[in-house]
Amino acid sequence: MTIRLLILGTGGMAQSHAKAFAAIPGVDLVAGVDPRATALQAFCASHGIARGFASVQEALEWGQFDAVANVTPDAAHFATTLPLLAAGKHVLCEKPLATSAAEAQEMATEAARAGVVNMVNLTYRNGAALQKAAQMVAGGLLGPLRHFEASYLQSWLTQPAWGDWKTEPQWLWRLSTAHGSKGVLGDVGIHILDFATFVAGQAAVEVSARLVTFDKAPEGRIGDYVLDANDSATMQIRLAGGALGVVHATRLATGHLNDLRLRLFGDLGGLEVGFEQNQSTLRACLGADRLTGQWRTVDCPPVPSVYQGFVAAINGTGPAIPDFAKGAQLQRLLDRAEESAGQGGLALPV
């Protein structure tokens, strides 16, 4: 069966979606959507897409598509996804699912009601080490979890590895709440929170958080962009099984372009998961190695990408994971973290 896919949004991530889906047999990129006519035309021409629409409504009136990759800015996910679900379209939505827990839950509820495949693009779920670590924890190799620490470190505010954030809108909007940004917490904090809770196999039940925004320009703004979104986040998290952990994320970790780390400790062993310089790694200290503190590298078989998983779910050959329900769960955690930070780091139930 051929899956007719529409790409909603034509920014930087949309390029990645289009290339990934075009490489999957049985997927046909049939249309793009963007109210910016010039950007839409360039995107469609670049990827050989025959049709372009200025709005979701125009695309739905045409209707000749089965599934959608929603790659719009965070604040647009809710309004653009609901009509797609109502029309019975399968949706892969970029993270975070929404900008509030209430909206994310409504999206999850409507997706379940529509009976369509619904997935959220938590990119680092694709890591072989992450998947292997989750299997090991689920298999009881660490015993009861007691402690964990996780970090997501980026440096694009201190070194222009990906571009000049002071002049390029694709970065500036991420620093401005008026432009839909939830800061580093919503941008990459959601990834590291998923990273930790997915491997642990447990939801967070309590969070204490602090958020900081640093001065980065005269009067805190550049043109139309008020730079008020958080730049660094720290959290203490308690998991359902009782384990306590620390999680932090920042855009100011000079020397770390895009690095994730997770360490988990249980009564029977420990795991270290890394994603650094685009390489996924896993180390373990188990069994007799605990007596000497010996850590060994674990081989991790490759895993399908989220794009391949989305297609497999539509074809009925794989699970729709992570789904909108998981996205809503993470959004509740993000909302509570923001509330905690607003109350000076007060510990709050999730």
pLDDT digits (tens, 9 = 90+) for 144-165: 999 999 999 999 999 998 899 9
Asked whether residue 170 carries a pLDDT value surpassing 90, the answer given is no
The CA distance from 73 to 186, in Å, is 12
Which homologous superfamily does the CATH classification assign to the domain defined by 128-302? Dihydrodipicolinate Reductase; domain 2 (3.30.360.10)
How remote is the C-alpha of 113 from its chain's centroid? 24
> Is 73 a residue whose pLDDT tops 90?
no
Q: Which CATH number fits domain 3-123: 3.40.50.1860, 3.40.50.720, 3.40.50.10190, 3.40.930.10?
A: 3.40.50.720
From-to residues of CATH 3.40.50.720 in the chain: 3-123
The answer to whether residue 1 scores a pLDDT higher than 90 is no
pLDDT tens, residue by residue, 294-343:
999 999 999 999 999 999 999 999 999 999 999 999 999 999 999 999 99
pTM beyond 0.85 = yes
